[in-house]
């Protein structure tokens, strides 16, 4: 995430403005030039690390390229292959399934946690505790959950077996694997998402709740009539960001299931990675990356429009 | 509004992209030869070799890097791309085809490697289709049946019983009967007893090592091999895979069918990272496990478990079978110190080094004298390795075969890995492999 901030240029007179002007006869930089100066580092970074790789990636998607020999232009062949590749469509399907479960559960849970944090407690310790899973690296979280959920050796299944229920192959069965990975990532990200929403809630003026309470509104009514409408822009931005992140799930899959069983968790990013670094098909991998970029762009614009993320009902 | 939409798009773009970091230059000088290997068990043995080598070549210094199997190949690939590859690395036949294709290996024709200096077949596997040699044989391994002595005793069986099994894809023969007998459910009933509960098995007769991808090395290959099936139309660099073969598919159906009967641990019990067959064996969850010779010291290290190894069962061809695989040392094309690297590889492939390695008793070196040293070292540790060495010594009773060596090996893996999991994990019919086989052969046809 990039946060661009600007502040009005200020001049700090060191020892008298007039004196300084005498010493420096040239005109000070205009606002535009100064702004450009401030923006330049970010723009250069954007161009070098984002814009150029993206453009190059798009170009590579029209080539056959194994990274070790020069790319060879093959036109739309990679895209043709993609359209006819059942594994690609399967990957897209499991990715969408993952995003639905992950974002659905995560957003509802995060919203609940955020509201509870705001309405019930002032404890900053509790706020910190909610965030702790986020402090763990994705890979570590994945491995820990993999151990805990292992069908035979995992403590989770030991408990399930002790209760008398059949062991559940959480990460080894095609029906369970995607929901399990989605839930592992909910566990890790829900606190962070809750914190973002909590920040949004803090911006809602308290007098609205007071007025509603005077009018005899219930807690639920205040939630639906005050909290939700006023939180909408924040919620929308959070959704856009988490959906983008969710579509790019990779590390948890890589350490828990490696795309299996069969292709049940072969999410798009994992398939792209395997094509590029396992099979050295960088051209095809680039084409699929471009497809992912297009999908995400469309989803982002649609989300942005539907949720009117740029407007607020406040004030 | 338009600007904001654009900003949101830019955000999407930003988050879509991933970066990668460069590697370290490795700090090599003209004296240094960098050497990578994945097996931590073997590190001390090769370090001992390096010591002797450095004594003979005071101008050279071998620098070791040991990485776990998965990281090893990822880092090696990244190294080839970024130019931070080692001078010399331990190579696996499964990866050889791809590396040869990508032209990242240095020819080793001038090392004077002779087929006859090594155990049969080991040296010739490392000659690519262009006729050049890209690897110097380092070691070899076969697959055999590890068994838990106590469990076998408790079942009223002997070591001889386990070494004299035969099987066929129709009823599984005495092999299936034996592993059924070794299977125990939670009520203490054996797999061949009435009332056996296949859904609540406490000890499986046979541990699972997953679906086996396209090679089935420690899974189904002892069976497909002794049924007479071969991976491809030619011994090396074939153009056609045979996963559509009816014999192959009938063996696969029988083998994975053992899991449905409750004798073989199911696919869901397996995890490539933490729950391979040796872990199931160590946890007392399985009475036997097919595993490779490179795992002998791992099994020997399991506390409280006394193990034995048995020869693979005799198949429909009247022979026993095992894959015989061999690793090699390869020099990279981008090696900074090519002359030093080749010297080191020549030494690694020599009797002197292989005997040193053999004395550690952790792996079978490729030269006959190295192998003898290893057998003696295992014996000293009280481990009988004859079921691993017999395939090499007794060609009449045993058929040995190599990993499939073809072009597009990475693609074959990428296609077969999920396809076999689909058969084992999801119960798909083995005839579905026809389609996968067509896709593979289409690639090889290009």
How far is A121 from chain B, CA to nearest CA, in Å?
34
List, for residues B242-270, the tens digit of each pLDDT value. Answer: 999 999 999 999 999 999 999 999 998 88
Q: Do β-strands A63-64 and A72-73 pair in parallel, antiparallel, or remain unpaired?
A: antiparallel
What one-character-per-residue DSSP string does A170-218 give? TTTSHHHHHHHHHHHHHHHHHHHHHHHHHHHHHTS-HHHHHHHHHTT--
Is the pLDDT at B6 greater than 60, yes or no? no
Please state, for a pLDDT cut of 70, what percent of chain A lies above it: 90
List, for residues A191-215, the tens digit of each pLDDT value. Answer: 999 999 999 999 899 899 899 999 9
Q: CB of A158 within 8 Å of any CB in chain B?
A: no
List, for residues B363-408, the tens digit of each pLDDT value. Answer: 999 999 999 999 999 999 999 999 999 999 999 999 999 999 998 8
Interface test with A, best of B209, B268, B334 (most A CBs within 10 A): B268
Chain CA centroid to CA B117, Å: 23
In contact, A146 and A256? CB cutoff 8 Å: yes
Strand, helix or coil for residue B192: coil
In contact, B235 and B399? CB cutoff 8 Å: no
Which ipTM did the prediction report? 0.81
How far is A151 from chain B, CA to nearest CA, in Å?
6
How many Å apart are CA B163 and CA B167, to the nearest integer? 12
From A56, which residue of chain B is nearest by alpha-carbon distance? B17
**Shortest CA distance to B286 belongs to which of B247, B313, B256, B259?**
B259
Look at the block and give the residue holding tokens 């649609």: A302
Interface test with A, best of B4, B12, B429 (most A CBs within 10 A): B12
Task: Kindly state the tokens that stand for B113.
Answer: 């490697």
Homologous superfamily of A72-307 in CATH? MetI-like (1.10.3720.10)
Q: Which residues pair with A36 in a beta bridge?
A: none
List, for residues B206-244, the tens digit of each pLDDT value. Answer: 999 999 999 999 999 999 999 999 999 999 999 999 999
A292 contacts on B by Cβ (under 8 Å)? 16
List, for residues A43-62, the tens digit of each pLDDT value. Answer: 999 999 999 999 999 999 99
Q: Write the DSSP symbol of residue B325.
A: B
Is the pLDDT at A173 greater than 50, yes or no? yes
Is the pLDDT at B16 greater than 70, yes or no? no
A275 contacts on B by Cβ (under 8 Å)? 414
List, for residues B110-153, the tens digit of each pLDDT value. Answer: 999 999 999 998 999 999 999 999 999 999 999 999 999 999 99
């Amino acid at each position: 995430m990039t946060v661009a901030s600007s502040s009005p240029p200020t001049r700090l007179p060191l020892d008298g403005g007039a004196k300084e002007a005498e010493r420096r006869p040239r005109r000070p930089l205009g606002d535009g030039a100064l702004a450009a100066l401030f923006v330049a580092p970010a723009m250069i970074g954007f161009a070098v690390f984002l814009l150029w790789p993206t453009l190059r990636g798009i170009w590579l998607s029209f080539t056959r390229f194994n990274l070790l020999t020069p790319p060879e232009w093959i036109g739309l062949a990679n895209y043709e292959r993609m359209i006819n590749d059942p594994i690609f469509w399967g990957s897209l399907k499991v990715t969408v399934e993952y995003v639905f479960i992950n974002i659905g559960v995560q957003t509802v849970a995060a919203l609940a946690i955020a509201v509870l944090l705001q309405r019930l407690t002032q404890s900053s310790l509790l706020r910190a505790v909610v965030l702790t899973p986020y402090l763990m690296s994705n890979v570590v979280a994945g491995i820990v959950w993999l151990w805990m959920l292992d069908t035979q050796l995992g403590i989770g299944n030991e408990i399930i077996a002790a209760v008398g229920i059949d062991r559940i192959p959480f990460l080894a069965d095609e029906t369970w694997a995607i929901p399990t990975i989605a839930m592992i990532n909910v566990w890790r990200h829900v606190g962070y998402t809750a914190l973002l929403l909590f920040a949004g809630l803090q911006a809602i003026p308290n007098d609205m709740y007071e007025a509603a309470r005077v009018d005899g509104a219930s807690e639920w009514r205040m939630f639906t009539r005050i909290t939700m409408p006023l939180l909408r822009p924040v919620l929308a931005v959070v959704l856009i960001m988490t959906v983008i992140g969710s579509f790019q799930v990779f590390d948890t899959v890589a350490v828990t299931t490696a795309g299996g069983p069969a292709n049940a968790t072969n999410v798009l990013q994992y398939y792209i990675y395997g094509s590029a670094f396992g099979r050295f098909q960088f051209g095809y991998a680039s084409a699929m990356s471009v497809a992912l970029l297009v999908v995400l762009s469309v989803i982002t614009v649609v989300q942005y429009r539907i949720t009117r993320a740029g407007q607020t009902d406040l004030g | 509004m338009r600007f904001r939409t654009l900003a949101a798009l830019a955000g999407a773009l930003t988050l879509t992209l991933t970066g990668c970091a460069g590697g370290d230059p490795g700090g090599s000088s003209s004296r240094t030869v960098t050497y990578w290997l994945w097996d931590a068990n073997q590190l001390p043995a090769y370090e001992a070799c390096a010591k002797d080598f450095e004594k003979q070549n005071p101008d050279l210094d071998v620098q070791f890097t040991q990485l776990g199997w998965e990281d090893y190949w990822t880092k090696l690939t990244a190294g080839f791309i970024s130019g931070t590859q080692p001078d010399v690395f331990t190579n696996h036949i499964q990866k050889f085809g791809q590396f040869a294709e990508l032209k990242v290996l240095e020819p080793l024709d001038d090392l004077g490697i002779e087929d006859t200096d090594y155990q049969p077949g080991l040296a010739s596997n490392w000659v690519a289709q262009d006729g050049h040699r890209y690897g110097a044989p380092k070691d070899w391994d076969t697959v055999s049946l590890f068994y838990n002595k106590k469990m076998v005793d408790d079942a009223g069986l002997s070591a001889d019983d386990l070494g004299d099994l035969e099987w066929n894809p129709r009823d599984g023969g005495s092999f299936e009967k034996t592993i059924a007998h070794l299977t125990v459910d939670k009520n203490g009933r054996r797999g061949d007893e009435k009332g056996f509960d296949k859904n609540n098995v406490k000890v499986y007769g046979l541990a699972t090592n997953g679906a086996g991808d396209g090679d089935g090395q420690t899974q189904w290959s002892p069976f497909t091999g002794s049924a007479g099936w071969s991976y491809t139309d030619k011994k090396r660099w074939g153009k056609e895979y045979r996963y559509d073969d009816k014999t192959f598919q009938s063996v696969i159906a029988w083998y994975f069918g053992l899991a449905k009967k409750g004798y073989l641990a199911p696919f869901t019990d397996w995890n490539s990272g933490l729950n391979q067959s040796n872990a199931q064996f160590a946890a007392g969850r399985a009475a036997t496990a097919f595993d490779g010779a490179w795992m002998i010291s791992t099994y020997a290290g399991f506390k409280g478990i006394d193990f034995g190894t048995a020869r693979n069962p005799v198949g429909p061809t009247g022979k026993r079978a095992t894959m015989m695989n061999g690793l090699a040392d390869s020099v990279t094309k981008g090696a900074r110190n090519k002359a030093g690297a080749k010297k080191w590889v020549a030494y690694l492939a020599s009797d002197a080094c292989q005997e040193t390695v053999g004395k550690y008793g952790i792996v079978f070196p490729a030269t006959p004298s190295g192998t003898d040293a290893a057998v003696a070292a295992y014996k000293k540790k009280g481990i009988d390795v004859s079921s691993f060495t017999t395939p090499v010594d007794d060609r009449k009773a045993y058929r040995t075969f190599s990993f499939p060596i073809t072009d597009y090996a990475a693609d074959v893996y990428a296609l077969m890995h999920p396809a076999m999991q689909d058969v084992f994990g999801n119960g798909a019919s083995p005839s579905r492999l026809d389609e996968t086989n067509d896709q593979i052969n289409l690639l090889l046809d290009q």
